[in-house]
Structure formats: structure tokens, C-alpha cells
Amino acid sequence: MNPTNVEKEAPLIHDSPRSLDPPPSRELWGHPIGLYVLFMTEMWERFSFYGMRALLVFYLTKHFLFSDEVALGLYGSYVALGYATPVIGGMLADRYLGQRLSVIFGAILMCLGHFGMAFEGAAAHTVISPDGVASVVRDEAALQVFYLSLALLIVGIGFLKPNIATIVSQLYPADDPRRSSAYTLFQMGIMLGAALSAGVCGYLGETFGWAYGFGTAGVGMLIGLMVFLGGQRFLKGVAEPPPHADLKKRVLGPLNTLHVIGICSLAAIGLFWLFVQKTMIVGYLLGGFSLIVVTYVLVVSFFYCNRIERDRMLVLLAFQLALTFFATLFEQAGGSLNLFADRNVDRHFWGGEIQASQLQSIVPATIVLLAPLFAWLWPALSRINRNPPTPSKYAFTMVFMAAGFGVLAWATGAFSDHGSINMVWLVAAYICFGVADLIIVSVSYSTITSLSLPKIVGMMMGTSMLAISGANYLAAMFASWMALPQKGSNLAAIPIEETLVAYGTLFTWLASAAAICAVFLFLVTPLLSRKMHGAQ
């Protein structure tokens, strides 16, 4: 049946107020000025996030003396929950708060969380009992402040992350070809902040003290909040609460809608305070929550959509699955790759030594340098009808991921010197990962706004975060299964050659998995392209 006829016979759910063209706004370099406000806000938000991310595993293993397995579990639980809460944050913004209030509230919570991380307390130390048993003594008060700070960050990310990305699409008319390049530029802002933070926060944290690194991340988040508040007039009202929302309506005694949302947010902080300490519970929660979300999307797709909308939503779910697989590989950077850089990479350069956390800046720096090229590339290819189908772009990301881990697997086996490899091999792998991330993130954001039903686009943007959430948990769990078998601070007893072999095995498995996924995505590209019904 002709798709045009279907649209005439059955009005699309896409025909909603959210699909109306936004009001015209002043432009700079071909894009609304509001895009650059969001660019700067997200740049500083990512400065804070990646600054803490670069230090977190080292903080856990070196300051609190947790084992690799425990540290990676905590890291994975924090990042996973931080990417899961955007599903709820997106829904609350769609139905009640609007994107502007959600971003402001999330930024405030994140500021509190980052500054809380700056309270490091006393460093853990090992005590040997009279009978020769070693145990680790930790500052429990500082540890609880640490868990509470993670909870504040998790809830803050939930409110901020999906909604600032959604505002980007709302600045443009429907079907505007500039959306894809806008998200590429937006991703450039994200990675510019990440590149700066890994170098600055990582250096300060590992050189002068953890509090300096985490505190600097908090300052970055505060700057981002100020930028967003100062640029409100350039958003032209597109991020306000929906017309039907009444935040002052009483819903529970004297409490109005806004009060209830605030109280529930505080309760969520308390729950996440407990959950980050129980990594297995996080896994069960993510599994159950993911099942509920996927079920909801399937129900909407099969019972509330016509054929075109249903096909597009199902393709979107397939892309979310591919994103989950990609992120499972990519998020090794903050865990196993970070530890590998610290233990098995020769980081001496020009007479000095680069901190392992500073190498985290290579991926975002690659994206910053190449983002203008890709922002130009997709529209240019579209003008000559040579733009690759969206599914094949997902496949190309897996090709680059396979290449990156393949380089590391090869180097660990062929170019090791006393248990270490030259830093150039890790740099090459990180550059491959940066290209892969640049392709998939800009495409995935644009795909969500193109394929999703407008009335749940915020939730679907959050669902992409849920995919990354599950991936982060899987990445941490996979890395912890391959973790070195140290107890407490006994890693030094393990020969460095053995640690290199363990990491080499991990990289070989990851490279193989990425290559298989790339081949599969290339094979199903024609089918998925047809089911998109012309959306790009």
C-alpha cells in the first residue's frame, strides 16, 4: 500500500502540537542562537560528568582500596542508574515540568553531588591483625557522603540529560535537514567539555588530591547552570511546560503537582543512596525497568499507531538495541581501559609522565576535531543522494569499535615490553572509539526525533539513555568477570605480564563481538531502511 494513502486514510499521531514548527529565532552560522546556549550548557555539564568519570575507578581502588571487582561494580551501578533515570525525567518533562524547569532542577542537584564528592575523608589503609589476617579500614562517614553524592548526581542527570537534548530538536521546524548537523555540533559541545575535564580534573585529582579534581567538576556544573539561566530568551519558549500541565493544581491534600514531584525526587535520592551500595539490586532493577519500558513502547506501537508509525517505532527499538551493544563496548573506557592504562601502558612522553585519567581526553578530543567534518558531511551527502542509510551508519560504528579493540588485542600480544605497551597503541584505539561515538550518537539523537511519536519523544530520548544505562552495567559486570583477582591492595603481588595477558584476552573477545555485530547490521540494513518509510 502506498504510504501516502495510509497517511490520508488514518491521521498520524505525529499530528500533535509538539510537531508544529517552532517560532523563528535569530541565527548564527546557520543555526538558532539557542543551539549555542545548549551547546555551552551541555559542554560544562559534560565537563563535570566526565571529570568525575575519569577519576572514579581510581578513587575507589586507590583511596578506598576497593578491589577491581567492587570498584567496577560501583562504577557500573552509578553510571547505569545515571543513564536509566532520564526515562522518568523525560516523561515528567513531557507531561508536567517542560524541559526548561527539568534542566534547571537537574543542574542544581548535580552541583550538590559534585561538591559532595570533594569531601574525600581519610584515606583507607590496610591493617594486619595479630594472627596475620589483612583487612582494610575505611572512613565510613566519608564513604556515606560519597554514596549520597552519587545519588544526587543520578537524579540530577535524570532531569537534565534527556531534556536538554530534546530542546535541540524543538529549535528547528519539522523535517529540517539541519537537525542532524545540529546534533553533531551538540555532540561536539559534549565532547569539548569531556576533553577539557579529563585533562584538567584528572590531572588535579591524581596529582594534588581527589578533592581538587571532584571540586573542579562541581565548578564546571555550576558554570553550565549559569549559562543556561542566562540564555533563556534564546530558547523562544519551546521548552516550557505543556499547555495541559497545571503545576499548581492540588493533587494530595495541600500539596500541588510541583510539590509532589519534588518530594518524590528526594525519595528517589534516598533510594539510590542505598542502591549504589548494592550492585546486584541495580542489575535486577535495570532488567525489570527495561522490560516495563519496552513493553510500554510495544503496546503503544501495536495498539495506538498506524502501520507507518508502528514500523518506525519498531525500527527505533532495534536501533536502541544496537546502541546498547555499542555502549557496552564503548564504556569499557571508564573502567577496564582506565585500569589498563594505569597498569600496562607506558605513559612517558617528552621526559614526563601522563596520568592515566588524562588519556580519557583522547576520545572526546577526536570528536571535537572531527565534529565539524561530520556536521558538513551528512547534509553534503544528502544533497547528492549519497548519504548512507541510517542502519548502515550503526554498522560502521561497530567496524570502528572492532578496529579499536583489535589494535589493543594485537599490541598486547605482539608489542609488549616487560608487561607494558607503548602509549601510541592506546591512543590509536581511542581515536577509533571517538569516530564510532561521533557517528552513532549524532545519528541516534536525530533518529529518535525522526521516528518517535512526538507525544513520547522525551521518553524515547530517555529510553536511549536507558539503553546506555544497561550497557554501562553490562560493561562493568563483563569487565569485573575478567578482573584481576586481587584482594584489597594486593595487586602489586600479581606479575605485570599476567595482567597484560588478562587484558589482551578481554580485548580479543570485545573485538570479535564488535565485528560480528557489524556484519549483522550490514545484512539487515535493507530491511530496516524499508521499515523507516523514508524517515532519516
Domains in the chain: boundaries: 30-239+250-531
Pick the range with the lowest mean pLDDT from 180-184, 195-199, 329-333.
Answer: 180-184
The pLDDT score that the predictor gives to residue 536 is 66
**Cell triple for residue 56?**
572514579
**Predicted local confidence at residue 7, as pLDDT:** 39
Q: Per residue in 58-93, pLDDT tens?
A: 899 889 988 888 888 888 888 888 878 887 888 888
Q: Are 221 and 214 in contact (CB under 8 A)?
A: no
Residue 333 CB burial class (10 angstroms; 0-12, 13-18, ≥19): buried
Length of the chain: 536
Q: Find the range with the poorest average confidence among 85-89, 214-218, 291-295, 425-429.
A: 85-89
pLDDT at 516 over 90: yes
Say if CB 189 and CB 39 are below 8 A apart.
Answer: yes
pLDDT band per the 50, 70, 90 thresholds, residue 10: very low
% residues pLDDT > 90 (the chain): 27
User: Which helix (H) or strand (E) segment is 420 a member of?
Assistant: none
Q: Which three cell numbers stand for residue 192?
A: 569539548
Please spell the DSSP secondary structure of 347-363, one letter per residue.
-EETTEE--GGGGGGHH
What is the predicted pLDDT for the residue at 287?
A: 86
Higher pLDDT residue, 296 or 536? Answer: 296
Q: Could you tell me what percent of the chain has a pLDDT over 70?
A: 90
Q: Are 314 and 531 in contact (CB under 8 A)?
A: yes
pLDDT value at 280 more than 90: no
Grade residue 489 by pLDDT with cuts at 50, 70 and 90: very low
Model pLDDT for residues 443-461, shown as the tens digit of each residue: 887 788 788 887 777 678 7
Q: What is the secondary structure of 195-226 as a DSSP string?
A: HHHHHHHHHHHHHT-HHHHHHHHHHHHHHHHH
Phi-psi region of 60 (alpha: psi -120 to 50; beta: other; left: phi over 0): alpha
Q: What is the pLDDT, as a whole number, of residue 16?
A: 38
Q: pLDDT at residue 133 above 50? A: yes
Tell me the CA distances in angstroms from 424 to 348, 359, 368, 407, one per residue in order.
Answer: 11, 11, 20, 10
Domain 30-239+250-531 part of CATH 1.20.1250.20: yes
Does residue 439 have a pLDDT over 60? yes
Q: How confident is the model at residue 2 (pLDDT cuts 50, 70, 90)?
A: very low
CB-CB contact of 461 with 320 (8 Å): no
Confidence band of 497 (pLDDT split at 50, 70, 90) = confident
8 or 230, higher pLDDT: 230
pLDDT (average), residues 201-230: 91
Whether residue 14 has pLDDT greater than 50: no
Mean pLDDT of all residues in the chain? 83
The mean pLDDT of 329-356, rounded to a whole number, is: 86
pLDDT band at 4 (very low <50, low <70, confident <90, very high): very low
pLDDT greater than 90 at residue 397: yes
| Span of 21-35, 238-252, 390-404, 408-422 with lowest mean pLDDT | 21-35
Could you report the per-residue pLDDT of 159-195, keeping only the tens digit for each? 998 888 788 877 877 667 677 677 777 877 777 888 8
Hey, what's the cell of 320? Answer: 536502541
pLDDT at residue 9 in the model: 36
Q: Are strands 421-422 and 345-346 parallel, antiparallel or unpaired?
A: parallel
pLDDT score of 481: 66
CB atoms within 10 A of CB 126: 12
Instruction: Enter the pTM of the model.
Output: 0.77
Mean of pLDDT values over 287-291: 86
Angstrom distance (rounded) from CA 282 to CA 260:
25
**pLDDT higher than 50, residue 511:** yes
Give the count of beta carbons closer than 10 Å to the beta carbon of residue 132. Answer: 6
Q: State the amino acid at position 437 in one-letter form.
A: D
Q: Dihedral of CA 34/38/41/43: which sign? A: negative
For the cut 70, the answer to whether the pLDDT of residue 6 exceeds it is: no
